[in-house]
Structure 1
Amino acid sequence: MATPIYEFAQLPHVAKQASAGPRPDAKRRVRAPGEAPCVGVIYNPRSHGNQGADFDCGMSPHVHISQPGDRSQLPDALSEFAARGIDLLVINGGDGTVRDVLTCGASIFGADWPAIAVLPKGKTNALTVDLGVPGDWTLQHAIDAFDKGGRIHRRPIAVTPQGDAPDSHVMGFIMGAGAFTTATKSGQSAHRLGAFNSMAVGVTTAWGVLQWFFATRNNPWRRGSRMTLRLGAQQAEMEHSGHGDPAWRQLLFASTLETMPAKIKPFGPLRKGLKLVVLDQVSRRSTLLIPSVLRGKAPARLRERGIHQITTPQLILEIDDQFILDGEAFPAGQYRIAQGPELEFVTP
């Protein structure tokens, strides 16, 4: 949470029994009629919305709060929650905190995660936009919604390196490479200027389109990254339109979310599962189509123009540059990209 994840070898290993259920030392509790849910809270004081804010730690004996100083402390905190048999896991932080909690919790909860609520305290909070969680949602709101609110199911993206540390993976909801990596760095500049959440996404997207139209192919916004994409169980190499160098893609953007910040619709009519939008090194003329694509429109012959919108159960990504998962950079290499476990999120 405080230090970047750059090396998969440093991540918690996914236990082999994880897919079969929770840790064997996890307690099974049955709520009595009218009993308050047992709640575990991961509170990230470094999240943008939590800076300088105090947190009420004494609201209920059923609420257990942990403030891990860094990622290395997350497994112990989550193991304690699992041993208590929590009914609700509340993540108080942004998308990066969600990524860290899901990654570290994979070997602890396995296929038996508690319900999850997310308080939007980060800089972008794309997950809570998809879940319809308001910006002023509090811990008490989340606890009340456990019995009285709604539920939405989502499966995160699971990224597993091929070769080194094959038992480690990270899980998040928004992944990108090529110009997306450049955009993420530009987005940090937008944050410093005071633009957050959907505003930051909108500002960065608009700046990217301008760069695509006016910059040369040597500009990182248009050059992208050298990458190979092999789709599905058969690992069929993804087609290329022929625009630009076929060994390079200008942009890769992937998500399992169904509603994106700033109301953009990069995947067109595709909504379910693991969705990709991939741009070859498109011409300036094709760049003029990008605003329509982001509004969910589908101009004719998009693939022939170098703009690909697809769904796939999994893919192999081989990339010579960094990629981004929920705002953080990961090293070049070869990775399997698939969907993680189905998680149940509590909503208002």
Structure 2
Amino acid sequence: MGRARIALLSNPRSTGNIAQLPRVRAYCAAHPDIFHYEVERVDQIGEALRTIARIKPAMLVINGGDGTVQAALTELHNGGHFGENPPPVAVLPSGKTNLIALDLGSHGDPVAAFERLVAIAQGNLAAHLVPRELIALRHGDGLGQPVIGMFLGGAGLADTMLYCRNKIYPLGLPNGVSHVLAAIALVVRQLFGLKLSFLPPAPSQLSVSVRIDGKLSGKFTLLLVTTLEKLLLTSDVGEASRGRLRLIAVEQRPFLLIRAFIASLLGKLSRGHIDGVHLEGSDEISIEGDASDVILDGETFRAEIGSPITLRPTLPLSFVRLAA
């Protein structure tokens, strides 16, 4: 058998894989040029990548949710298993949110997306590669290895994401319905200021320092930092920003989030257009809060006074983008 063109790293516990993994396994069994490695815990990803590095694949495909992708990217960045030449990374839409997969044009049926990646690997792979800088997150004193990801949600956004995870997902509803219900709950709490157990909590005080433009302080309905091109609310922050980390912050005011959303639909959400909506770019962002949670690709961290969360961009990594 020749060199494996594709290495597939699967997490059977990801939501989409519960139903789809038997099809994925059957497909891999019929294609001997695919090396398939399954993990059931994120602490097994290091050993998985050490093994995968031995076969020197032309492409690494991650089959799991955003949390699985985040753990694999962290290991790729910190582990050094592939030396200075890690393979391009592709992501299948196999989790509940799939923000990273969507940014790379991967959506719908995971097996169909994988078949397209296999076809791409046999041809001119370079034509489908895009560079992506990643977010390196350090907590507290900043020592030790960073956690690597591509999408960070904080303030009311993180509270709503946790609310959806803990209160709505257990109901067993389809993902789309769950996300709509969480959004409705956020809007109801935002508009009426209700403090009820079945609604997301009100955001706590949060301070965000952006190296270029100074400091933002207050309570925010939405705080988002990402390197992704397809962003929540807007796609034009990349033009407005002057750094590789893109930040959107919407202050906690009645109707402001709705105004920002409508402005984004009309293509009018840009720097300085709406008072209380901040679009910034920086090479370093610090977040400090009164026991406020932030979520990086599914993993939760707590920003506390005196123990800030610091975000910096990494060197670019090549990803495989499917045609939208």
TM-score normalised according to structure 1 size:
0.75
Q: 1:180 to 1:338 in 2, by over 3 A?
A: same
Q: Corresponding residue for 2:159?
A: 182
Q: Residue 265 in 1 paired to residue 233 in 2?
A: yes
- Quick check: 1:222–1:250 contact (8 Å CA) kept in 2? no
Letter in 2 for 1:176: G
Q: Residue 195 in 1 paired to residue 174 in 2?
A: yes
Q: Corresponding residue for 1:347?
A: 321
Q: Residue 154 in 1 paired to residue 132 in 2?
A: yes
Q: Corresponding residue for 1:32?
A: none
Aligned length: 299
- Quick check: 2:250–2:256 contact (8 Å CA) kept in 1? no
Where 2:101 maps in the other structure, the secondary structure is helix
- Quick check: 1:177–1:251 contact (8 Å CA) kept in 2? yes
Partner Cα separation in structure 1 for residue 184 and residue 236 of structure 2: 18
TM-score normalised according to structure 2 size:
0.80
Q: Corresponding residue for 1:276?
A: 247
Partner Cα separation in structure 2 for residue 238 and residue 217 of structure 1: 29
Q: 1:324 to 1:294 in 2, by over 3 A?
A: farther
Where 1:79 maps in the other structure, the secondary structure is helix
Q: Corresponding residue for 1:291?
A: 261
Q: Corresponding residue for 1:38?
A: 5
Partner Cα separation in structure 2 for residue 66 and residue 330 of structure 1: 29
Q: 1:133 to 1:182 in 2, by over 3 A?
A: same
Q: 1:200 to 1:257 in 2, by over 3 A?
A: farther
> Between Structure 1 and Structure 2, which shows a larger proportion of helix residues?
2
Letter in 2 for 1:194: L
Letter in 1 for 2:85: D
- Quick check: 2:13–2:40 contact (8 Å CA) kept in 1? no
- 1:205-253 superposed Cα distances (whole Å, 9 cap, x missing partner): 3432232111158998574123222222x7x64145xxxxx4x444311
Where 2:152 maps in the other structure, the secondary structure is strand
Partner Cα separation in structure 2 for residue 154 and residue 59 of structure 1: 32
Partner Cα separation in structure 2 for residue 86 and residue 162 of structure 1: 37
- Quick check: 1:49–1:122 contact (8 Å CA) kept in 2? yes
Unpaired stretches in structure 1, ≥5 consecutive residues: 1-34, 241-245
Q: Corresponding residue for 2:282?
A: 312
Letter in 2 for 1:130: D
- 1:250-282 superposed Cα distances (whole Å, 9 cap, x missing partner): 43111111124xxx5346443673211112332
Q: 1:200 to 1:310 in 2, by over 3 A?
A: farther
Letter in 2 for 1:47: S
Letter in 1 for 2:92: L
- 1:291-311 superposed Cα distances (whole Å, 9 cap, x missing partner): 3244243389556x3221111
- For residue 171 of structure 1, the aligned residue among 131, 148, 166 is 148
